[in-house]
Structure formats: structure tokens, C-alpha cells
Structure 1
Amino acid sequence: MKIKYKDQYGTEILDVFGIYWGVREGGTKKGEAFTYFYALYGTTEVSFMVYDSKEVEVIDPRLEGEWVYDGGVSINGMFYAPLIQEQLLDDVIDRDPEAIKKFLQFAIKDGLLDAELYKDAL
């Protein structure tokens, strides 16, 4: 899946590796449904950024590779399988270099990312 994000600095086309949704439980938007995308940002200092579905355009809706559902009480999501199966999601979100490297290796092996583009992060 690919999304397009625009801000004051330009336009980015980003690869999505997680989608989660739920209903807000508090604050001024209590009861409002939300959908967020975990998208890969950067090629040398790689990290996941969270993007609100209301602030991006989905330009390729296909979920490439193997994805799995992971659900909880208030948040449910679909994620690129190695993030869940290898318990990498939290560490990648926290920008752990070893977890990011392992994630990139899975995504490159599965043909989802270009190895040449991410060589400095490996």
C-alpha cells in the first residue's frame, strides 16, 4: 500500500506496513472513529511515522506481502506479518536500530523494498 502525504515541505510517497483503527475513548472527539497508517519514512535513518487517513491520499490500496490481523479492546489493525510474528512492531516504532534492520531485511526479501535504496540503513 502506498500513500501520498503533502505538507509545507513537499509531497512524499510512502510505503505502508500497518493500518490500525478504533474509536476515540476520551477528549473532545470521544466516539469518533479513526484510521491511522504506519508508513516507512527515510532511507538512512529509517522509522515508522503515523499518518491520519484524513490527511493522506491512498494512491495504491493493495496490501503487498503477507499481512495479519492484530486486535485489542479499542484498537484493531492489519500489519505486515513479520512485524507481529517476530514481535518487531514496538521496537521499530521506538526506532531500535536492530529491529529496524531486521524489519528491512524481511521487507527486502519479500520484494517490498529496494535493497539498494536502504543499503545505508542495513
Structure 2
Amino acid sequence: MKIKENDGTLIEIYAIYWMKGKTYFYGLVKGYGLSVFNADKVEIIDPTMSGNFIFFEDGVFFKPLITEKILDDLVEGDPETYRRFIEILKAEGRVDLDFY
């Protein structure tokens, strides 16, 4: 799934969750980690979610975020966790090998 921010930046989505009647996305921001995006404030460019996703609590998440227990650290911007997540994405062919 891909979204576009107001400034035109395209973001790959790795989770969708619902809270208090709202829809949110977790998207990968290059050089940082996962950031939260309010579905009401972005444009959905590609609604397809393909790959290894699972339902967990109140959302649908890219499975390694849950099984590797890295979601919280990625959202907090931990550089080691970011590097680990990029390794996972490269191994699955979800990002280019020179992404980071």
C-alpha cells in the first residue's frame, strides 16, 4: 500500500490500525523509521497490501513488526531497530539493496 502526503512524498505502508473511529497508517520514512499518518490527511495511491501481514490487536501489520517485536522501537526512531527493519525489507525484496 502506498500513500501520498500533502507535499507529494510517497510513503510505503506497513500497518493500518483503527483507534477511536479513525484510521491510521504506519509508513516507512527513509532514514528514520515508522511514522503515523492519519488516513484523513493523506491520499491513498495504491490500496493493495501484499506480502506477509497479520491482524494484531486493532490493526493489520507487516508480520515481522510483531514477530520481531520491533514496532514500538521503530516508531520511537531507534537507529538499530531501523537498520534491522531495513535488513528484513531487503531480504524480502521490498526495498532496493542500496536503500540504506
TM-score (norm 2): 0.93
Q: Supply the distance in 1 between the matched residues of 2:73 and 2:50 (Cα, whole angstroms).
A: 22
Q: Which segments of 5 or more consecutive residues in structure 1 lack a partner in the other structure?
A: 24-32
Which range moved further: 45-54 or 85-94?
Answer: 45-54
Identity of aligned residues (%): 34
CA contact (8 A) 1:65 1:110 kept: no
1:2 aligned partner: 2
Counterpart-to-counterpart distance in 2, 1:50 and 1:36: 7
Work out which of the two has the higher radius of gyration on C-alpha atoms and give 1 or 2: 1
What is the distance in 2 between the residues matched to 1:22 and 1:55?
A: 15
Cα distance, 1:64 vs structure 2: 2.3
- State yes or no: 1:37 paired with 2:3: no
Equivalent residue pairs, number? 100
Report the CA distance between 1:53 and its aligned residue: 0.5
Displacement after TM superposition at 1:65 (Å): 1.8
* Per-residue deviation, 1:46: 2.3
TM-score by length of 1: 0.77
